[in-house]
C-alpha cells in the first residue's frame, strides 16, 4: 500500500487526487463511507485496549502505550506542528469548487495533516492483526483500515497525503511497541492475561 500510493502523491497535486476520489461517487458508496468515516478515533482506541486485555499483559501494555502516544501525536501534529495546514473544505470554499458532499458530514477547515482518524485506525487495527496472527483476519483488518483512510478523502475531510501520513505513523507505532514489548517483557507475569484466574 505504501509503495503503491506514494507515486500518486508525488506525481499529482493533492487537489487533483481529492477531486478524483471525491468525484467517483454513488449512493451506495455515500452510505458506506458515511458510516465508516464517522467511526470516531475513540472507538478504535477503546476497541484495541479491551481486546488486548484478554491476551498477554505485554500485549495490553503495547496497546495502551501505542494508542496513548498515537493520541498525543494527533494533538501535537494538528494543534502545534501543522496547525496552519488547511483541510480541503477551506480550498474548495475559497475557490468555489463544485464537489460531491456526503449528506450528514460536517467538514472542518483546519487541522488537516495528518489524518487522526486514519492514524488511530491503522494503529489499532494493526495491533489487532498482530494479536490475531490469522492471515484472513489480518487482511480484513487491513482492508478496514484502508477503507477508513479512503473515506476521509471521499467525504472531502482530508487530502490523500494526510491519510497516507496518518497510516504510516499509526502502523509504525503499532509495530514498534508491539515488537518492543514482545521482545523485552518475557517473564511469566507479562505473558499471562490480566483476566487469568488465580489458582
Write out pLDDT tens, residues 50-77. Answer: 888 888 888 999 999 999 999 899 999 9
d(C-alpha 31, C-alpha 122), whole Å: 22
Q: Is residue 197 part of a domain?
A: no
Q: Is residue 5 part of a domain?
A: no
Domain count, the chain: 1
Q: How confident is the model at residue 196 (pLDDT cuts 50, 70, 90)?
A: low
Q: Is residue 9 part of a domain?
A: no
Q: Is residue 195 part of a domain?
A: no
Q: Is residue 7 part of a domain?
A: no
Closest of 90, 65, 99 to residue 180, by C-alpha: 65
Q: Is residue 178 part of a domain?
A: yes
Pull the grid cell for residue 146: 484502508
Q: What is the pTM of this model?
A: 0.87
Q: Is the pLDDT of residue 148 over 70?
A: yes
Q: Is residue 199 part of a domain?
A: no
Closest of 183, 187, 150, 165 to residue 62, by C-alpha: 183
Mapped onto helix, strand or coil, the DSSP state of residue 29 is helix
Who wins on pLDDT, 38 or 73? 73
Closest of 64, 60, 54, 67 to residue 190, by C-alpha: 60
Domain extent, residue 43, equals 26-185
Torsion over CA of 175, 181, 184 and 186, rounded to 10 degrees?
A: -120
Q: Is residue 67 part of a domain?
A: yes
Amino acid at each position: 500500500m505504501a509503495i503503491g500510493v506514494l507515486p500518486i502523491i508525488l506525481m499529482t497535486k493533492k487537489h487533483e487526487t481529492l477531486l478524483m476520489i471525491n468525484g467517483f461517487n454513488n449512493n451506495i458508496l455515500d452510505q458506506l463511507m458515511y458510516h465508516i468515516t464517522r467511526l470516531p478515533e475513540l472507538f478504535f482506541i477503546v476497541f484495541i485496549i479491551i481486546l488486548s486485555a484478554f491476551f498477554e499483559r505485554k500485549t495490553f501494555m503495547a496497546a495502551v502505550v501505542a494508542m496513548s502516544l498515537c493520541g498525543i501525536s494527533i494533538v501535537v501534529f494538528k494543534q502545534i506542528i501543522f496547525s496552519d495546514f488547511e483541510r480541503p473544505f477551506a480550498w474548495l470554499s475559497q475557490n468555489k469548487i463544485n464537489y460531491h458532499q456526503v449528506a450528514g458530514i460536517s467538514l472542518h477547515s483546519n487541522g488537516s495533516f495528518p489524518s487522526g482518524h486514519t492514524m488511530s485506525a491503522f494503529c489499532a487495527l494493526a495491533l489487532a492483526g498482530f494479536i490475531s496472527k490469522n492471515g484472513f483476519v489480518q487482511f480484513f483488518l487491513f482492508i478496514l483500515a484502508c477503507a477508513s483512510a479512503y473515506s476521509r478523502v471521499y467525504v472531502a475531510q482530508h487530502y490523500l497525503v494526510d491519510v497516507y501520513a496518518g497510516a504510516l505513523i499509526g502502523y509504525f507505532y503499532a509495530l514498534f511497541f508491539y515488537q518492543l514489548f514482545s521482545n523485552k517483557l518475557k517473564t511469566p507475569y507479562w505473558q499471562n492475561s490480566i483476566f487469568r484466574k488465580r489458582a
